[in-house]
Amino acid sequence: MQPFDGIRVLDMTHVLAGPFSTYQLAVLGADVIKIESPHNPDMTRIEGATPALNEAHYGTYFMAQNANKRAMAVDIKTELGKQVLRDLVKTADVLVENYRGGTLEALGLGYDDLKTLNDTLIYCSLTGFGHSGPKRSDPAYDIVVQAFSGLMAANGELDAPPVRVGPPMVDYGAGAQAALAISAALFQREKTKRGQRIDVAMADAALMMMSAHVSATLATGIPPKAHGNAHPKYAGYATYHTANGLLMIGAWSNKQMAMLFRVLGDEGRADDVEKTPRGEVGHRLADDTEFLHQEMPKKSADDWEALLNQAGVPASRVRALDETLAHEQVASRTVLQSYAGSDQPGYPSALPVAAFTYEHGGPALKSAPPKVGEHTTDVLNSLGYGHDQITALRAQGVVI
């Protein structure tokens, strides 16, 4: 048994953050029904690495966070479509949406409208800035929130223009926060027998992912400066060129820095750093950095990675993603799992599932990402709609 077996989730989200939140519930057993417009399905369906899949509305961007879901296409702007959604809500435990603030309320499908149909419904709204404040109605994507939140200004090289983080980390961070909030609300409902309204903001998620920077800025009034791959105080917490490749060293503590120097054969430097008060380690920065720049080119990044890790010093060669995905460490985990059809040309051979495992009933990939409207008939049948009703809805363009 998986944690969310028997839980029905209505997924009215698109792009990355919202679909990722419901995907995390789906891989843990929830019956997630992805609800899309017949005329304007999730835009990520046409985005990805394989042109033929994009043309088929099955892009790799979509596939990354929509497996294990069922899909139905219904036009909720029509009165008949609204009724279909209301019928679904009566059967649901959770509804997740990421429309711009006020959109569903204007359609009569906001939280206050739907809770009258199902007073135990957990309704999660995921937007760029949340439902309060002067920016509550402003549109947003990951990069916009990176710019607004200070994340972009904290990234990049020293004394250079801000650089956005490449992968959409705010989207996935917000999705993870939403999945946590929904999980907690389901647990809370077991005790209170009450539904819940959840307001998740991508901008808030960005601040949560910078918690240490946020607390430091609140204490001093000084925002963090970008410093690239070199820490402004600790020489052992930086990247260095080696004989072959770039190495990231994570010697943060004095003990780890001392061990780094011992691996490099400088016992005196190791003894000195062990005796240096933590607040004064930064005074060593220039000298220690110069020493490391001299020593690291004497071996390859792979050799240093093995030697330093064996000595308890965190370090890794800087790898491209294809190298990481081919590494035996990734193969030893269940973070990537195959799915039906994954052996087809141009398809991802596996999909990311979850960053954790359980002893039993853990995250699992059980079905491929759905095509547009693939399960519309099945879902409507489960609600009691007959063949003639479904045919009529299709003829009117309410569903596909």
pTM confidence score: 0.96
Q: Which helix (H) or strand (E) holds 197?
A: strand 196-201
State pLDDT tens for residues 32-50.
999 999 999 999 999 999 9
Contact 6, 91 (CB under 8 A): no
With residue 103 as reference, give the H or E element that holds it: helix 103-106
Length of the chain, in residues: 400
Q: Which domains does the chain have, with CATH numbers?
A: 8-209+335-395 (3.40.50.10540), 245-318 (3.30.1540)
Closest of 202, 54, 235 to residue 127, by C-alpha: 202
Task: Report d(CA 308, CA 258) in Å as an integer.
Answer: 12
Q: How far is CA 19 from the centre of its chain?
A: 10
Express each pLDDT in 372-396 by its tens digit: 999 999 999 999 999 999 999 999 9
Nearest residue to 288 via CA among 225, 238, 224: 238
Query: Confidence band (pLDDT; 50, 70, 90) for 371?
Result: very high
- For residue 131, indicate whether it is catalytic: no
128-143 pLDDT tens trace: 999 999 999 999 999 9
pLDDT confidence tier of residue 92, bands split at 50, 70 and 90: very high
Q: What are the tens digits of pLDDT across the range 3-42?
A: 999 999 999 999 999 999 999 999 999 999 999 999 999 9
CA 47 to chain centroid, in Å, comes to: 17
CA angle 205, 210, 214 (to 5 degrees): 110
Question: Quick one: how far is CA 92 from the chain centroid?
Answer: 24
Angle at 210 between CA 137 and CA 122, to 5 degrees: 50
Residues 57, 131, 213, 231: which is the catalytic one?
A: 231
Strands 31-36 and 8-12 turn out to be parallel
CA distance 374 to 357: 30
